[in-house]
């Protein structure tokens, strides 16, 4: 723990709320964890995808004969060999201009490719060596088509159509109050345009998996994924019943949204289906960078009106995002951008227009923060500009406008839990103390804060649910079964903690079976900061049911009322009675009381949105936070060094403070990477970052210690009042770094990443303004 925990109204807890070193971490540190690429089977084949070398073309020839002739090659599959080659994506809410659009992409392209890296053929071979040779021999000829490299270009009249029917994939609108009147009456108006870049998830584990056919004809995939429910999508591709596909997720080597869409699954499945043998596929880093969807590039145009005291009066926001070549989750990511556009502030008059367009760039989809995080750069830069224009303190302007419980967001949703935004602002400022001094005459230091809000839990009209099963063994130990994928955040371990807490069983005697779509109750995706809310509540419910079953059995036997009894380690205890746990379990067996329980948690409900967003609840709830950064800028080179970084979030209740701190610190550094370093450069549709030499994520020397401050309002919707914390801390860094640079040099960077060149431009701009 590098940070601190500040809490309120805490009930007595034994296991939950303790900073516990997790059992999964011990195995990982011992080197014994078998990740998706670490298992091999006798007779296992190897498979690899042959990908498009160009971003936009008609395929005039696909010839696998030379590849098939390579000794050791078992098969080369083309799109025609895929039972159902079309993957269709629903794009909800688009009922007016766009229509109820069904977006389609192919498992293996047959006629046309739309991005550099698109899959064309699947090669299956006895050895990796034969595979490598054969992949080079799959002959593909291209008839080049125009390349659409920018969403603005894509949306222009007469633009070449990336998909038939036009390049507009989705649009959303929010209208609230009278924006024009509010701008007319404003004391100050600020405006600017902000641009974010394509970002790669760059988890250390490239996509990988092994598949095989079980004796009962069930195709089993053991893959690195955030979503075991993709077994349904795989079944659709193969044209088999859902019950004939099983997805097992071992511990995943990082997800961040990049393993939310399918990656290796369809290809491993096809290879197994075709050969009836075990097959392994491991993407190279180059493939991972080429083929997998990125974070959306956003262009965000903001105009903000405020009164003389800093009260926000109106905001007018236009968002254009780059959907890349295929739909994936772009419409929903844009919906998040739209709903989060005004940030954690009360803005009475709002007009938001957002569009996402097809291009021939890499597809874009889910990435930690899911469209909400890009907007932090916009709304936080605007609030700083308002403060500066009025000569006010930015922190005070934030507090003046901070949302509170009972307020409604521009989209209409009422906030039903406490908003501790002001507390997070105070926390980082109190901890920060004095500003550091510059280390030399040609250096300048700056300090800034940035706040944010980010939803946790899925969109309410998706009717989310999660289930978990908990059962006592006859020796008093406990088994938890829940199909939650564990991607490194302690998703499985926290369920064990919850079960241990409620049932008073020592953690060392709790086993959690996770990530298996066939043998465990389904818990939904490890995405959208939803697992603690969803599977956490399901496990809590199962544990409470099980506890009540046991207490009921003891009550019936002893005549003491059940509500006078409680579980203690090793026994059930009441005012004048106690019974050892093993005896209680025997009693349950004798009196037909189950010693297991299935808990199902249903998320909050709501009606499906239309393109014009208005009315009601859209997310379960939100997490709020504030970060503070001190930077030093080298005025000659434009180099930026982050000297100090403090991050405060209200997490409601920390189930495991060490895991919470890990999420905050990790997300902060991932956000710092986006702020300062990372950029998937795409030139005319060609991806220019083939490896980690070119795609720079932060090293240990690029970032300072992350000091986290965990605030606990006790007001979250998760178990014990927890809020989700997986995504929220990635937003503030991309705003706080430009703001701290602005504080140091006098002009604000508005384009990410803030490279030394862009910093030098800011320095020049500031000088020009002075002169």
Residue 506 CA to residue 577 CA, distance in Å, equals: 22
Contact flag: residue 43 with another protein (CB under 8 A): no
Contact between 33 and another protein per CB under 8 A: yes
Q: Shortest gap between Cβ of 614 and another protein (angstroms)?
A: 38
Residues in contact with 630: Cβ distance below 8 Å, sequence separation at least 6, in sequence order: 432, 435, 436, 445, 446, 447, 642, 643, 644, 645, 740
Q: Strand pairing partners for 246?
A: 220
Residue from 30, 433, 434, 757 that binds another protein (CB under 8 A)?
Answer: 30
Window contacting another protein (CB under 8 A); options: 110-118, 270-278, 536-544, 702-710: 702-710
**According to CB under 8 A, which one of 90, 111, 129, 636 is a site residue for another protein?**
129
With the C-alpha atoms ordered 410, 397, 370, 172, is the resulting torsion angle positive or negative? positive
Q: What is the DSSP letter of 413?
A: P
**Which residue in the set 262, 375, 411, 487 belongs to the binding site for another protein (CB under 8 A)?**
487
Least separation, in Å, of the C-beta of 39 and another protein?
Answer: 8
User: Among 9, 40, 568, 605, which residue sits at the site for another protein (rule: CB under 8 A)?
Assistant: 40
User: Judged by CB under 8 A, does residue 21 bind another protein?
Assistant: yes
Contact pick of 250, 257, 536, 666 for another protein (by CB under 8 A): 666
437 makes contact with another protein (CB under 8 A): no
Q: Exposed, middle or buried, 284 (CB in 10 Å: 0-12/13-18/19+)?
A: middle
Contact 424, 626 (CB under 8 A): yes
Q: Which of 658, 688, 751, 766 binds another protein (CB under 8 A)?
A: 658
472 bridge partner residues: 478
Among 4, 38, 86, 765, binds another protein (CB under 8 A): 38
φ, ψ dihedrals at 94, nearest 5°: -90, 70
Contact between 468 and 523 under an 8 Å Cβ cutoff? The reply is: yes
| Among 118, 571, 661, 727, contact with another protein (rule: CB under 8 A) | 661
Q: How far is the CB of 187 from another protein (least distance, A)?
A: 41
H or E stretch covering 605: none
Report if residue 456 touches another protein, rule: CB under 8 A. Answer: no
Residue 705 as a binder of another protein (CB under 8 A): the answer is yes
Q: Least distance in Å: CB of 287 to another protein?
A: 11
Binding mask 374-403 for another protein (x = CB under 8 A): ------------------------------
Stated as kind and residue range, the H or E segment containing 137 is helix 128-137
Region of 21-29, 55-63, 162-170, 372-380 interacting with another protein (CB under 8 A): 21-29
Nearer to another protein, 8 or 33 (CB): 33
C-beta separation of 450 from 375 below 8 A: no
Residue 326 is a binding residue for another protein (CB under 8 A): no
Q: Which C-beta is closer to another protein: that of 34 or that of 605?
A: 34
φ/ψ of residue 318, rounded to 5: -120, 130
For residue 86, the SS3 value is strand
CA dihedral 108, 112, 115, 118 (to 10 degrees): 20
DSSP 608-661: PP-SB--SS--SSEEEEEEEEEEEEEETTT--EEEEEEEEEEE-SS-SSHHHHH
**Distance separating alpha carbons of residues 76 and 699, to the nearest angstrom:** 40
670 binds another protein (CB under 8 A): yes
Instruction: Work out which of 216, 693, 768, 771 binds another protein, going by CB under 8 A.
Output: 693
CB of 239 vs another protein, minimal distance in Å: 33
Among residues 701, 757, 769, 771, which is the contact residue for another protein, using CB under 8 A? 701
Annotate 274-308 with DSSP letters as a single string: HHSS-EEEE--HHHHHHHS-BBPPEEEEEEEEE-T
Is residue 71 at the binding interface for another protein, with CB under 8 A as the rule? Answer: no
CA 549 to chain CA centroid, Å, is 37
Q: Is there binding between residue 697 and another protein (CB under 8 A)?
A: yes
- Using only C-alpha atoms, the chain has a radius of gyration, in whole angstroms, of 27
**Closest distance to another protein from the beta carbon of 169 (Å):** 29
> Phi first, then psi: what are they for 587, rounded to 5°?
-60, -45
Taking the complex as a whole, the smallest distance from the CB of residue 261 to another protein amounts, in Å, to 18
Report if residue 72 touches another protein, rule: CB under 8 A: no
Kindly tell me the burial class for residue 69, based on how many C-beta atoms sit within 10 Å of its own C-beta (0-12, 13-18, 19 or more).
Answer: exposed
| Least CB distance to another protein at residue 524 (A) | 20
Alpha helices in 473-580 (DSSP H): 491-503, 531, 537-558
**Contacts to another protein from residues 172-211, by CB under 8 A:** 201-206
462 binding another protein? (CB under 8 A): no
- For another protein, the closer CB: 354 or 687: 687
Distance of closest approach, residue 663 Cβ to another protein, in angstroms? 8
Count of residues in contact with another protein, rule CB under 8 A: 63
Q: How far is CA 172 from CA 11, 335, 412, 414, 607, in A?
A: 43, 7, 14, 20, 16
CA 39 from centre of chain: 27
Residue 566 touching another protein (CB under 8 A) = no
Task: Give 150 or 207: the residue with its C-beta nearer to another protein.
Answer: 207
Give the binding site for another protein (CB under 8 A). 2, 19, 21-22, 24-35, 37-38, 40, 128-129, 133, 136, 201-206, 251-256, 282, 284-285, 487-490, 658-659, 661-662, 665-670, 691-693, 697-701, 703, 705-706
């Amino acid at each position: 723990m590098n940070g601190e925990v500040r809490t309120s109204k805490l009930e007595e807890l034994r296991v939950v709320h303790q900073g516990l070193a997790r059992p999964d971490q011990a195995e990982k540190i011992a080197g014994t964890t078998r990740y998706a690429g670490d298992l091999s089977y006798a007779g296992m084949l190897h498979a690899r995808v042959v990908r498009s070398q160009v971003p936009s073309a008609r395929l005039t020839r696909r010839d696998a004969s030379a590849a098939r002739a390579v000794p050791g090659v078992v098969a080369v599959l083309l799109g025609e060999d895929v039972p159902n080659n079309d993957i269709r994506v629903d794009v909800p809410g688009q009922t007016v201009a766009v229509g109820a659009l069904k977006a389609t992409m192919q498992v293996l392209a047959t006629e046309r490719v739309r991005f550099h890296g698109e899959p064309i053929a699947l090669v299956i071979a006895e050895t990796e060596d034969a595979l490598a040779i054969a992949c080079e021999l799959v002959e593909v000829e291209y008839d080049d088509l125009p390349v659409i490299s920018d969403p603005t270009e894509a949306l222009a009249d007469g633009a070449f159509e990336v998909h038939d029917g036009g390049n507009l994939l989705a649009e959303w609108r929010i209208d609230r109050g009278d924006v024009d009147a509010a701008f007319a009456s404003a004391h100050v108006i600020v405006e600017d345009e902000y641009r974010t870049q394509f970002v790669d998830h760059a988890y250390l584990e490239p996509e990988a998996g092994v598949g095989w056919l079980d004796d009962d004809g069930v195709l089993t995939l053991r893959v690195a994924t955030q979503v075991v429910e993709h077994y349904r999508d795989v079944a659709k591709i193969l044209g088999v019943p859902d019950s004939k596909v099983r997805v097992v997720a071992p511990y995943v080597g990082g997800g961040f949204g990049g393993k939310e869409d399918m990656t290796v699954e369809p290809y491993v499945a096809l290879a197994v289906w075709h050969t009836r043998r075990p097959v392994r596929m491991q993407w190279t880093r180059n493939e991972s960078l080429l083929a997998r969807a990125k974070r959306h590039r956003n262009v965000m145009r903001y105009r903000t009106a405020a009164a003389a005291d800093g009260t926000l009066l109106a905001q007018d926001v236009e968002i254009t995002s780059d959907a890349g070549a295929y739909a994936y989750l772009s419409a929903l990511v844009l919906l998040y951008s739209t709903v989060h556009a005004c940030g954690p502030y009360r803005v009475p008059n709002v007009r938001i227009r957002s569009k996402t367009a097809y291009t021939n760039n890499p597809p874009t989809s889910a990435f930690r923060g899911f469209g909400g995080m890009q907007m932090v750069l916009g709304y936080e830069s605007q609030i700083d500009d308002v403060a500066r224009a009025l000569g006010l303190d930015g922190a005070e302007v934030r507090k003046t406008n901070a949302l509170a419980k009972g307020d409604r967001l521009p989209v209409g949703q009422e906030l039903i839990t406490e908003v501790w935004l002001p507390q997070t602002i105070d926390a980082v400022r109190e901890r920060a103390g004095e500003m550091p001094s510059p280390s030399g005459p040609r250096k300048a230091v700056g300090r800034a804060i940035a706040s944010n809000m980010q939803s946790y839990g899925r969109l309410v009209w998706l009717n989310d649910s999660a289930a978990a099963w908990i059962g006592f063994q006859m020796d008093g130990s406990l088994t938890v079964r829940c199909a939650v994928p564990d991607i490194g955040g302690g998703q499985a371990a926290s369920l064990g903690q919850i079960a241990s807490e409620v049932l008073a069983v020592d953690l060392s005697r709790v086993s959690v079976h996770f990530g298996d779509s066939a043998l465990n109750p389904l818990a939904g995706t490890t995405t959208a900061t939803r697992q603690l809310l969803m599977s956490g509540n399901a496990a809590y419910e199962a544990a409470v049911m099980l506890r009540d079953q046991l207490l009921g059995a003891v009550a019936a036997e002893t005549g003491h009322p059940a509500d006078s009894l409680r579980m203690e380690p090793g026994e059930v205890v009441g005012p004048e009675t106690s019974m050892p746990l093993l005896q209680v379990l025997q009693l349950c067996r004798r009196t037909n009381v189950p010693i297991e329980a299935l808990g199902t948690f249903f998320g909050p409900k709501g009606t499906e949105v239309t393109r014009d967003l208005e009315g009601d609840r859209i997310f379960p709830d939100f997490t709020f936070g504030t970060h503070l950064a001190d930077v030093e800028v080298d005025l000659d080179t434009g180099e930026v060094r982050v000297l100090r970084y403090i991050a405060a979030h209200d997490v409601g209740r920390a189930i495991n403070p060490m895991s919470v701190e890990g999420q905050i610190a990790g997300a902060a550094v991932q956000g710092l990477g986006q702020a300062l370093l990372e950029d998937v450069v795409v030139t005319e549709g060609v991806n220019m970052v083939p490896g980690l030499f070119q795609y720079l994520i932060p090293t240990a020397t690029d970032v300072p210690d992350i000091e986290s401050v965990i605030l606990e309002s006790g007001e979250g919707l998760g178990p014990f009042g927890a809020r989700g914390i997986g995504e929220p801390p990635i937003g503030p860094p991309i705003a706080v770094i430009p703001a701290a640079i602005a504080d140091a040099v006098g002009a604000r960077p508005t384009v990410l990443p803030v490279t030394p060149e862009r910093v030098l431009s800011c320095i020049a701009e500031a000088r020009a303004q002075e002169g």
